Amino acid sequence: MAGRTTSKFAVTKVRLNEERTQVTQVDTRADTVAGEEPLEIRVDGQTLTTTMRTPGHDVELAHGFLYSEVHIQAARDIESAKYCEGTTRDGVNTYNLLDIEMRDDNVISLKELRLTLTNSACGVCGTSSIEELAKKTRYPIPHVPVDPLVIAQLPDRLREGQKQFRKTGGIHAAGAFTLGGEPIVIREDVGRHNAADKVIGHLLMEGLLPASDLILVMSSRASFELVQKAAMAGFCQLVAVSAASSLAVDTARKTGMALVGFARGDRFNLYSGDLK
């Protein structure tokens, strides 16, 4: 599995002069790119979703996805998670089909499971409004003022855990950090929503939810989907290194979550919440 998180290709690298008026260098060399493969998640034999992801921590991803979508209430709702041996490429298991078996007393009905086809840029679809999210949210989000000195450290601390990003330059990361800025778990994926699901899945499986005293840090922009996932897991703060969308800001303010964007070096934007 680890070898599939990245791939190497021969690429032509081109460099121009400072004026960008002529080519000064052309050479061919090996380049490392982030791995991207489909993962089909089946629940009790029924296909629930197919998402394009970076292989690795797939069981955490499945737990996080099912939890964010309110298909499960706790890790104990899942009896087992295993790769289907029948899915092969040239006789070798692709590890791209994950079978989830629910407990017999699980409260989620198969009739409630919807077929969702997503890709690595799409995120979780189906929650159409802030009001609907507010009805589904499990935990009240506590008001925790943002500490500027901690926020300033978080992007660099997230980057320290981005092993695949250092190899490829093309993969997102999500991390759960304490209010003091210490990392609890960091996960990477070509899809920012998958990276968040892996983090949430890890916390769920470790019995660390609700994340009311944790900060979710993203290497991407802050979208509605990410605020949605953070709210479902009970995070009190969401920090992104890039911009926040209008719906993300509205949702954060509605749920009471502190939302930070453009967290880069010595500056950031506070879209929701208060400073410490």
**Which residue in 185, 203, 195 sits closest to 221, CA to CA?**
195
What's the pLDDT band for 203 if we cut at 50, 70, 90?
very high
Query: Is the pLDDT reported for residue 69 higher than 60?
Result: yes
What's the pLDDT score for residue 110? Answer: 52
> Domain locations in the chain?
37-131, 148-272
- More confident position, 126 or 226: 226
**Catalytically annotated residues:** 122
Query: Is the pLDDT reported for residue 113 higher than 60?
Result: no
Question: Does domain 148-272 correspond to CATH entry 3.30.365.10?
Answer: no
Query: Is the pLDDT reported for residue 270 higher than 90?
Result: yes
- More confident position, 26 or 178: 178
Half-sphere exposure of 166 (CA within 13 A, CB side): 7
What's the pLDDT score for residue 9? Answer: 78
Comparing 37-131 with 148-272, is the CATH topology the same? no
Strand, helix or coil at 172?
Answer: strand
Averaged pLDDT of the chain: 85
Query: Is the pLDDT reported for residue 175 higher than 70?
Result: yes
Query: Is the pLDDT reported for residue 91 higher than 90?
Result: no
- More confident position, 125 or 244: 244
What's the pLDDT score for residue 212? Answer: 97
Region 37-131: CATH code? 3.10.20.10
What's the pLDDT score for residue 122? Answer: 43
- Which range, of 79-88, 178-187, 190-199, averages the lowest pLDDT? 79-88
Output the pTM of the full model: 0.85
Mean pLDDT across the stretch 38-60?
Answer: 90
- More confident position, 109 or 40: 40
Looking at the chain, the whole-number percentage of residues with pLDDT higher than 90 is 54
Which stretches of 88-241 are assigned E, i.e. beta strand? Answer: 88-89, 92-93, 97-102, 116-117, 172-178, 183-189, 214-218, 237-240
Mean pLDDT across the stretch 241-261?
Answer: 92
Query: Is the pLDDT reported for residue 108 higher than 70?
Result: no
What's the pLDDT band for 125 if we cut at 50, 70, 90?
very low
